[in-house]
Amino acid sequence: MEESLSLLDSIKETFACEPVDIQTYSPLTLAYIGDDVYDLIVRTVVVERGNRAANQLHKSSSRLVNAKAQAQLIEAVMGLLTEQERSVYRRGRNAKSYTSAKNASIADYRKATGLEALFGYLYLTNRTGRILELMKKGFELLGTEL
């Protein structure tokens, strides 16, 4: 039986990535990867809930993959974060980005960037289960069906 590796471990092994100290990543680098991790999880759940036309899949996922929805999610789970997770979130939220939000307030955009940084940090430390736990609980608290 083949040993099961996480997606992260499989990527690192396949492409011979050198180990990197997570503390050396900037918050915007963490947010860069965290944004895609969040998007991948939402899209995976949407696809797993039924084979539909691509435009219907996009419509289902885009209501959750935006700065406003991400800001609401982090507000819902803030009380569940560890001190370390809060610290990573704050670093991301306070990072000076050179891009601006489309269709979102600056406050929501910064909160979303903080959430993405947190998810990037958790992903790169191989804690995908924690991301899933926070997303599931957050959506439950918000009454949002994924």
Enumerate the active-site residues: 35
In degrees rounded to 5, what are phi and psi of residue 4? -90, 120
What HEC string does the chain produce? CCCCCCHHHHHHHHCCCCCCCHHHCCHHHHHHHHHHHHHHHHHHHHHHCCCCCHHHHHHHHHCCCCHHHHHHHHHHHHHHCCHHHHHHHHHHHHCCCCCCCCCCCHHHHHHHHHHHHHHHHHHHCCCHHHHHHHHHHHHHHHCCCC
